[in-house]
């Protein structure tokens, strides 16, 4: 017997056509470098993405060729997300926050030959172009200035297409996009996504039990479009026809808040450092911003419970997801589960501060020194994942086998416990672990607790060598403007939350904590800086 269902390939071009057919009038708003607003819609998005695809083919781009982007979040980047894919090529989003040498390495490793670049990022491109094999430079003029000689204006490029064009043959397992890990764990490694992986990721992401996005939402992605597929938002947006609000290069909370209010944003997503900055402004300007419909999705690093509570005080719900470039990126989402039964207010916030349950189609296990660990909320081990949008290898990197187990699961390098309800709580990344006098100390738990102090804006905890205890935690703290607390005060604040030996005895008060290219605390820089810590 055979199933009678039609055999239909899962391809992202379906989302593109659906957006053009069903939602042509829905707006796509982009903030330009001069802060003016550029307004487009899904009808234009559909037409122009297809023109881009046709123009790329006419320009000799073949199936599987890499087309790089070096752009902020705006309409043209959104068009590239679909136009490049629709041409049969592979979209390679370059991380504009990396050092030029590093971007050059990545663009060369991926063998990018065409790039679509914002005119305001041309000076950055000039710093790494010589390292690459890029032949064709297509420039999006955000400033309205003419593009330099030797480059093609994006609008002129689109004009080379006729619009009378069909998609090339596609298979659902064809490569469509690639992202490189941000290199915090060594040389960046390339992850290549397929139509199928991203279609399935999108469907599960949008579920009410996933991130929960619906067509009536208005989404402002603060997460850059070069960071792990912008967490899947562009695909979800096209599938659902959500109004989009792209912030362009203006990511400061002072810029985001008025835009969120005036455009009626209901969903925004970004790393905790963005929201740590925003909550200070909301607290300062209490009642000023009308954001009662706003929900925030946060991920990329651990989310302090105090931050979730802080936004809740302003009526703003915060939901966290956990994942990585290798997992497309969504693997778990924080939810209070029905299996938990009635929960108190405190239990609810504690649950939301955990990384959450594995979403459908993602299998997850924790592996300790003695094998697979029970889900009892106590036993910890490295998280390993398996699923249709989890990478099974790295692009042209056979030696990366250590990232995968013999039975084909991805080793994430994150250490966690899982509760009996299947809720994951990350305690650390393997390389951030602190082992003091034979006991593990969770840097994540300490950071989150310290950030719960009302005078603290940000905190990062690292291991520093100690002559007696092997390692001890060092807390690096940024205070809120006009607030004060000293090390003794913070130790006292932690005293009822941690065992005595887990509380840091080394403290540093600084003006800012260095950030990675995706806005996370850069612990490698802190470890370097405080490597020779002198104990009294």
Q: Which residues bind ligand ADP (CB under 6 A)?
A: 181-182, 184, 228, 299-303, 320, 322-325, 355, 412-414, 426, 429, 518, 520
Q: How far is the CB of 196 from ligand ADP (least distance, A)?
A: 21
Q: How far is the CB of 326 from ligand ADP (least distance, A)?
A: 7
Identity of the residue, 277 or 413, whose beta carbon is nearer to ligand ADP in the bound complex: 413
Catalytic residue among 165, 289, 440, 469: 440
Distance CA(423)–CA(351), nearest Å, equals 8
Which is nearest to 96 in space by CA: 132, 60, 72, 62? 72
Q: How far is the CB of 32 from ligand ADP (least distance, A)?
A: 27
DSSP one-letter string for 101-115 = HHHHHHHHHTT--EE
Identity of the residue, 28 or 103, whose beta carbon is nearer to ligand ADP in the bound complex: 103
Which is nearest to 111 in space by CA: 181, 176, 64, 170? 64
Q: How far is the CB of 419 from ligand ADP (least distance, A)?
A: 15
Q: Tokens 């989404």 map to which residue?
A: 219
Tell me if residue 181 is catalytic. yes
Distance CA(323)–CA(326), nearest Å, equals 8
Identity of the residue, 113 or 425, whose beta carbon is nearer to ligand ADP in the bound complex: 425
Identity of the residue, 12 or 415, whose beta carbon is nearer to ligand ADP in the bound complex: 415
Identity of the residue, 82 or 322, whose beta carbon is nearer to ligand ADP in the bound complex: 322
Catalytic residue among 69, 181, 391, 412: 181
Distance CA(189)–CA(502), nearest Å, equals 35
List the beta strands (DSSP E) in 71-127. 90-93, 114-118
Q: How far is the CB of 100 from ligand ADP (least distance, A)?
A: 18
Catalytic residue among 288, 435, 439, 535: 435
Pairing of strands 434-436, 424-429: unpaired
Can you give the three-state secondary structure of 286-355, one letter per residue?
A: CCCCCCCCCEEEECCCCCCHHHHHHHHHCCCEEEEEEECHHHCCEEEECCCCHHHCCCCHHHHHHHHCCC
In three-state secondary structure terms, 199 is helix
Report how far Cα 237 is from the mean position of its chain's Cα atoms. 16
Identify whether 329 is preceded by a cis peptide bond (ω within 30 of 0): yes
Let me know if 170 is exposed, middle or buried by CB neighbors in 10 A (0-12, 13-18, 19+).
middle
Identity of the residue, 129 or 523, whose beta carbon is nearer to ligand ADP in the bound complex: 523
Identity of the residue, 218 or 319, whose beta carbon is nearer to ligand ADP in the bound complex: 319
Which is nearest to 392 in space by CA: 95, 110, 169, 173? 173
Identity of the residue, 209 or 492, whose beta carbon is nearer to ligand ADP in the bound complex: 209
Task: Sort residue 35 into left (φ over 0), alpha (ψ -120 to 50) or beta.
Answer: left
Distance CA(402)–CA(483), nearest Å, equals 46
Q: Tokens 């592979």 map to which residue?
A: 90
Tell me if residue 469 is catalytic. no
Q: How far is the CB of 466 from ligand ADP (least distance, A)?
A: 25
Q: How far is the CB of 407 from ligand ADP (least distance, A)?
A: 20
Q: How far is the CB of 185 from ligand ADP (least distance, A)?
A: 6
Q: How far is the CB of 516 from ligand ADP (least distance, A)?
A: 6
Catalytic residue among 305, 326, 382, 458: 326
Kind and range of the H or E element at 364? strand 363-368
Identity of the residue, 264 or 413, whose beta carbon is nearer to ligand ADP in the bound complex: 413
Q: Tokens 């550029």 map to which residue?
A: 38
Q: How far is the CB of 309 from ligand ADP (least distance, A)?
A: 16
Are residues 471 and 463 in contact, defined by beta-carbon separation less than 8 angstroms?
A: yes
Which is nearest to 304 in space by CA: 463, 494, 476, 458? 458
Identity of the residue, 141 or 184, whose beta carbon is nearer to ligand ADP in the bound complex: 184
Kind and range of the H or E element at 39? strand 37-41
Distance CA(508)–CA(512), nearest Å, equals 11
List active site positions: 181, 326, 435, 440
């Amino acid at each position: 017997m055979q199933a009678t269902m039609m055999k239909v390939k899962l391809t992202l071009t379906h989302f593109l056509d659906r957006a053009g057919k069903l939602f042509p009038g829905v707006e796509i708003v982009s903030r330009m470098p001069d802060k003016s607003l550029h307004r487009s819609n899904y009808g234009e998005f559909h037409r122009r993405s297809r023109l881009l695809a046709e123009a790329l083919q006419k320009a000799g781009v073949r199936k599987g060729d890499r087309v790089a982007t070096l752009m902020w979040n705006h309409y043209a980047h959104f068009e590239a997300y679909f136009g490049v894919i629709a041409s049969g090529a592979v979209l390679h989003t370059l991380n504009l926050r990396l050092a030029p040498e590093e971007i050059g390495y990545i663009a060369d490793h991926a063998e990018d030959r065409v790039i679509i670049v914002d005119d305001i990022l041309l000076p950055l491109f000039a710093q790494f172009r010589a390292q690459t094999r890029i032949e064709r430079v297509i420039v999006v003029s955000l400033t309205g200035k003419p593009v330099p000689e030797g480059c093609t204006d994006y609008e002129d490029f689109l004009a080379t297409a006729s619009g009378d064009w069909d998609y090339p043959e596609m298979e659902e397992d064809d490569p469509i996009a690639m992202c490189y890990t941000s290199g915090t764990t060594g040389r960046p490694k390339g992850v290549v996504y397929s139509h199928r992986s991203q279609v399935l990721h999108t469907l599960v992401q949008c579920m009410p039990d996933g991130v929960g996005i619906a067509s009536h939402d208005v989404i402002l992605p603060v997460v850059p479009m070069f960071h792990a597929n912008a967490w899947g938002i562009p695909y979800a947006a096209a599938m659902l026809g959500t109004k989009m609000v792209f912030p362009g290069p203006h990511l400061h909370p002072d810029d985001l808040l008025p835009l969120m209010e005036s455009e009626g944003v209901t969903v925004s997503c970004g790393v905790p450092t963005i929201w740590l900055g925003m909550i200070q402004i909301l607290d300062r300007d209490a009642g000023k911003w009308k954001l009662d419909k706003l929900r925030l999705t946060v991920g990329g690093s651990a989310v302090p419970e105090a931050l979730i509570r802080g936004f809740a005080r302003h009526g703003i719900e915060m939901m966290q997801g956990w994942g990585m470039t290798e997992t497309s990126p969504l693997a778990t989402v924080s939810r209070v589960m029905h299996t938990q039964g009635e929960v108190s207010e405190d239990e609810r916030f504690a649950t939301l501060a955990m990384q959450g349950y594995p979403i459908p189609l993602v299998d997850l296990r924790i592996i300790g020194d003695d094998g697979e660990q029970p889900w009892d909320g106590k036993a910890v081990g490295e998280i390993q994942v398996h699923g249709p949008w989890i990478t099974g290898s790295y692009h042209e990197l056979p030696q990366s086998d250590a990232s995968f187990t013999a039975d084909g699961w991805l080793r994430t390098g994150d250490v966690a416990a899982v509760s009996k309800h299947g809720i994951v709580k990350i305690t650390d990344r393997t390389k951030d672990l602190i082992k003091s006098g034979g006991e593990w100390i969770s840097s994540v738990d300490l950071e989150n607790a310290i950030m719960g102090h009302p005078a603290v804006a940000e905190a990062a905890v690292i291991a520093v060598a100690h002559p007696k205890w092997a390692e001890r935690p060092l807390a690096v703290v940024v205070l809120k403007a006009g607030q004060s607390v000293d090390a003794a005060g913070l130790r006292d604040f932690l005293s009822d939350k941690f065992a005595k030996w887990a509380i840091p005895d080394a403290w540093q008060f600084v003006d800012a904590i260095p950030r990675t290219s995706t806005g996370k605390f850069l612990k490698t820089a802190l470890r370097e800086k405080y490597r020779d810590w002198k104990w009294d």
